[in-house]
Amino acid sequence: MLDLKFVRENPEIVKQNIRNKFQDQKLPLVDEVIELDAKSRAAKQEADDLRNKRNTISKQIGGLMAKGQREEAEALKKQVTEFSEHLAELEAQETELSEEIRKRMMVIPNIIDASVPIGKDDSENVELERFGDPVVPDFEIPYHTDIMERLNGIDLDAARKVAGNGFYYLKGDIARLHSAVLSYARDFMIGRGFTYYVPPFMIRSDVVTGVMSFAEMDSMMYKIEGEDLYLIGTSEHSMIGSFIDTILQEDDLPYTLTSYSPCFRKEKGAHGIEERGVYRIHQFEKQEMIVVCKPEDSMKWYDKLWQNTVDFFRTLDIPVRTLECCSGDLADLKVKSCDVEAWSPRQKKYFEVGSCSNLGDAQARRLKIRVNGENGNKYFAHTLNNTVVAPPRMLIAFLENNLQEDGSIRIPVALRPYMGGQETIR
C-alpha cells in the first residue's frame, strides 16, 4: 500500500505506474482517493475546530454558573450539545471516508523499481544470466513421474482416491530424497547466517491482507471454515506476519530468517494440473528466506537472496538461469522480482523453481512494521522473500539432471550425508 501523502502529491507518477503494469481499469482509483482524502481532511478540520469551540464554551459555562448567570449557562450548554451531536456526525463521516480510501489504496499497485522492464505478461520477462551448462544427454529422459514410478517412489492413483488431483504420495528413496533436499536447504541457509524457523501453518485474515493483494488471496488461499484462519501458501506469510504492529530497533536490522513449512494453494484458474505430474499441485513443502531491513539496504539484499538460490542449485549440479519479471508480471505489492529457473533436459528448456521479491515498504505499511531510527524518527521497514527450494517441483529438475543411462539417479556429493552416504538411487 502506498503512502497517501505520496499519492496526493504525485498522482501522475501513480497513474503512470498503473499504466506500466497494464492495469488501466485502476486509473480512476487515484482521482477517487484524492477526492475522498480532501473530504476526509475537510471533515477532520471541521471536527477539530468544533472541539476547540466546545472546549472554550465549556469553560465559559463554569464561569457563568459561578456568577449565578444560570440562563446564559443553560443556553451555552444547549450549544455544546448541538456541537457534540454534529461532532459525532463528523467523526462517523471521517471513519467512513477513511475506510473508502483504504479500500482503494489496497488495490493501487506499489511503485515498481525503475530497472523493471515494461511488459504485459510473463511472455515478456527478460533473461538475465545463466549458471552452469545445460546438457541434453544421448539417451531419452522419461517424464518425471515415470522416473519416480520406475524407482517405486510415487503413488498418484492412491492420492487421487484420497484427496483428488493435485496431490501425491512419495515413498521409499524418492521420499527420502525429498526430505534430504529440505534438510540440506535448511543447513545451507544456516551456513549463510540465516536463523532457522518453523512457523505457524495457519494465519489470520489481518495477516493475509497485510502480506498479499486481494487477487492473490482469492486465487491462492484455503480458508478454514467457521474460523478466522487461512492455510499458508508460503511460510513468508507467517514470517512477515510475526512482525505485525511492532517497532523494531534500527540496530537490530537486518533480520535474516529461513523457514520451513508445508504450503497449500488452490491454484485457482491454473490450467493443466497434470494428473500424473507434480509440477503444479495443491500441497508441497518449501524452504524460504525472508529479510526485514532498512530501505537503503533492500536492493543489496535482493541480489544476495536470488544468488543464494542459484548457489544452492549449482551445488546439486543443476543448471539454472535468472529471469527478470516485467512490469505486467509483478504482483501488486512487489517493487522488483526475478524467477530462478532450472534446466529441464527432457523439455530442453528452463522452468521456474523459485521466485525472489523485493516488496519495498508495502507489507510493512499494511502490517505497521516500523523501525525506531536515529533521533527517534520512525519509518517503515523493507521486506524481501525468496525461495530456497520447493520440492517436489525441484525434484523434477533434480531427477532429470542426475538421471543416468541405466535408469539410476546420481546423488551429488553435497546431498549424500543426508541420504545416509548413498551415491545412487536404483
Q: Please indicate, yes or no, whether residues 199 and 287 belong to a single structural domain of this protein.
A: yes
- Give the confidence band of 275 by pLDDT, cuts at 50, 70, 90: very low
pLDDT of residue 276: 60
Please name the helix (run of DSSP H) or strand (run of DSSP E) that holds residue 205, with its range, or none: helix 205-211
In a domain, 150, yes or no: yes
User: Which residue among 105, 138, 167 closes a domain?
Assistant: 105
Burial class (CB in 10 A: 0-12, 13-18, 19+), 296: exposed
- Give the confidence band of 277 by pLDDT, cuts at 50, 70, 90: confident
- Specify whether the CB–CB gap between 310 and 129 falls below 8 A: no
- Pick from 263, 220, 213, 266: which is nearest to 238 by CA? 263
| pLDDT greater at residue 60 or residue 304 | 304
Q: Please indicate, yes or no, whether residues 43 and 137 belong to a single structural domain of this protein.
A: no
In a domain, 113, yes or no: no
Q: Please indicate, yes or no, whether residues 145 and 98 belong to a single structural domain of this protein.
A: no
Q: Please indicate, yes or no, whether residues 345 and 296 belong to a single structural domain of this protein.
A: yes
pLDDT at 274 over 70: no
Q: Please indicate, yes or no, whether residues 328 and 227 belong to a single structural domain of this protein.
A: yes
The residues facing 321 across adjacent strands are 130, 341
- Give the confidence band of 294 by pLDDT, cuts at 50, 70, 90: very high
Q: Please indicate, yes or no, whether residues 99 and 138 belong to a single structural domain of this protein.
A: no
Neighbours of 165 (CB within 10 A): 14
Per the structure, the count of domains in the chain is: 2
Q: What is the CATH number of the domain that holds 237?
A: 3.30.930.10
Q: Please indicate, yes or no, whether residues 162 and 251 belong to a single structural domain of this protein.
A: yes
Q: Please indicate, yes or no, whether residues 338 and 407 belong to a single structural domain of this protein.
A: yes
* Percent of the residues in the chain that have a pLDDT greater than 90, as a whole number: 83
Please say whether the dihedral angle defined by the alpha carbons of residues 191, 195, 201 and 206, taken in this order, is positive or negative: negative
Q: Please indicate, yes or no, whether residues 97 and 130 belong to a single structural domain of this protein.
A: no
- Specify whether the CB–CB gap between 162 and 421 falls below 8 A: no
* Percent of the residues in the chain that have a pLDDT greater than 70, as a whole number: 98
pLDDT of residue 269: 52
Query: To the nearest 10°, the Cα dihedral for 140, 144, 148, 149?
Result: -80
What does the pLDDT look like over 198-212, one tens digit per residue?
999 999 999 999 998
In a domain, 360, yes or no: yes
What does the pLDDT look like over 207-243, one tens digit per residue?
999 998 877 887 889 999 999 999 999 999 999 999 9
Q: Residue 171 corresponds to which cell in the numbers above? A: 515413498
Neighbours of 332 (CB within 10 A): 20
In a domain, 114, yes or no: no
What does the pLDDT look like over 140-178, one tens digit per residue?
999 999 999 999 999 999 999 999 988 999 999 999 999
In a domain, 112, yes or no: no
Q: Please indicate, yes or no, whether residues 167 and 222 belong to a single structural domain of this protein.
A: yes
pLDDT of residue 78: 84
What does the pLDDT look like over 13-47, one tens digit per residue?
999 999 999 999 999 999 999 999 999 999 999 99
Buried b (16+ CB within 10 A) or exposed e, 65-83: eeeeeeeebeebeeebeeb
In a domain, 346, yes or no: yes
Report the alpha-carbon distance of residue 203 to residue 256 in Å, rounded: 21
Domain with 72 in it: 4-105
User: Which residue among 105, 135, 162 closes a domain?
Assistant: 105
In a domain, 163, yes or no: yes
Report the alpha-carbon distance of residue 141 to residue 407 in Å, rounded: 9
- Pairing between strand 246-249 and 230-231? unpaired
User: Which residue among 49, 75, 105 closes a domain?
Assistant: 105
Q: Please indicate, yes or no, whether residues 187 and 72 belong to a single structural domain of this protein.
A: no
Average pLDDT in the chain: 93
Please name the helix (run of DSSP H) or strand (run of DSSP E) that holds residue 384, with its range, or none: strand 382-389
Report the alpha-carbon distance of residue 290 to residue 381 in Å, rounded: 13
Q: What is the CATH number of the domain that holds 14?
A: 1.10.287.40
What angle (nearest 5°) sits at the alpha carbon of residue 65, between those of residues 64 and 71?
Answer: 75
Report the alpha-carbon distance of residue 394 to residue 218 in Å, rounded: 25
Report the alpha-carbon distance of residue 336 to residue 214 in Å, rounded: 19
Instruction: For residues 293-311, give the mean pLDDT.
Output: 98
Of the chain, the end-to-end C-alpha distance in Å amounts to: 52
Alpha-helical segments (H) within 10-127: 11-20, 27-66, 70-105
Report the alpha-carbon distance of residue 1 to residue 4 in Å, rounded: 9
Q: Please indicate, yes or no, whether residues 241 and 100 belong to a single structural domain of this protein.
A: no
Q: Residue 299 corresponds to which cell in the numbers above? A: 536492493
Alpha-helical segments (H) within 131-204: 144-150, 156-163, 172-190
In a domain, 34, yes or no: yes
Q: Which residues lie closer than 8 Å to 419 by C-beta, 6 or more apart?
A: 176, 177, 180, 411
Provide the edge-to-edge strand list for the sheet that holds 230-231: 202-203, 230-231, 222-223
What does the pLDDT look like over 92-149, one tens digit per residue?
999 999 999 999 999 999 999 999 999 999 999 999 999 999 999 999 999 999 999 9
Report the alpha-carbon distance of residue 39 to residue 218 in Å, rounded: 32
Q: Is the pTM for the entire model greater than 0.85?
A: yes
At position 13, the amino acid (one-letter code) is I
